[in-house]
Amino acid sequence: MLLAIDVGNTNSKFALFDGDRIVAQFRLRTEAKRTADEYGAWLTQLMGLKGIDPRAIQGAIMASTAPAVNPNVRRLCETYFGTKLLIVGEPDCQLGIQVLIDRPQDAGPDRLVGVIAGHTRHGGPLVTVDFGSATTFDIADKDGNFVGGVISPGVEFTIEAFYLMTARLPRIRVEKPAKVIGKATVPAMQSGVFWGYVGLIESLIKRIKTEYGEPMKVIATGGLAPVFESEVHLFDVIEPDLMYLGLLEVWRRNRRS
């Protein structure tokens, strides 16, 4: 089995692959101070509940946007699973694409993995729209090379800012409101967030396509993608496991090399 790890700014997500199939997924909040033993106790217990023997793990790969977490996740893999951790963005990890931006070293590993998965599964040119802590729009050319993108504040980030930076506005859930014009505070906030992001997403996709000048596939991923699917009519496909599938592909490319 392969352990694929997606460490984001908010959550850390773990998936187990048996061949091409995801057989289990787990998540917890990202915390830099979490030790390898804490990871190990948590993960092996959950694997046991699903009847998965930790000895079945033969490899591990991670994309991380929280570098402080990396050393303890590496120790987790070495100590509890007896395997080396391949980390996207480190010199020994080969992606098989060119990063055609001004500062290639600054490209987020999650963004690169997303376009690799998208291109492998759907070809290019393409745009991936990832609803994470940030909402990112990442572009791959016809050959799968990363050519840039757009980073905007994430939906949950906006909601949290509403709550933390105002005296009277409550926390809200992200959902489509019944009407655009809210008759109370919460529906009005939900309308602003939902329809505001619909406008942002559609506008950016259209502008990206116009600037790029070629037909492009649009692939959406992230937990909130289905929330916006009914009103954003520019998504060609929603891939909930795009990051995991990209990690699997990168792992295989490194095995072949």
Query: What pLDDT is attached to residue 257?
Result: 72
Catalytic residue among 20, 53, 110, 138: 110
Whole-model pTM: value is 0.93
Return the number of other C-beta atoms located less than 10 Å from residue 11's C-beta: 14
Identify whether 110 is a catalytic site residue. Answer: yes
Helix locations, 30-180, DSSP H: 36-49, 70-80, 109-122, 155-164
pLDDT in tens, 194-246: 999 999 999 999 999 999 999 999 999 998 999 999 999 999 999 999 999 99
pLDDT of residue 74: 98
Domains observed in the chain? 2-87 (3.30.420.40), 104-247 (3.30.420.40)
Q: What is the pLDDT of residues 119-169, one digit of tens each?
A: 999 999 999 999 988 999 999 999 999 999 999 999 998 999 888 999 888
Q: Which residue has the higher pLDDT, 200 or 171?
A: 200
57-68 residue pLDDT tens: 999 999 999 999
Q: Which two tokens stand for residue 94?
A: 């080969």
Q: 23-30: which pairs have CB atoms within 8 A and are 24 or more residues apart?
A: 23/50, 23/52, 24/50, 24/52, 25/244, 30/66, 30/69
The per-residue b/e assignment along 148-175, b for 16 or more CB within 10 angstroms, e otherwise, is bbbeeebbbbbbeebeeeeeebeebebe
The DSSP output letter for 99 is B
Mean pLDDT of 103-119: 96
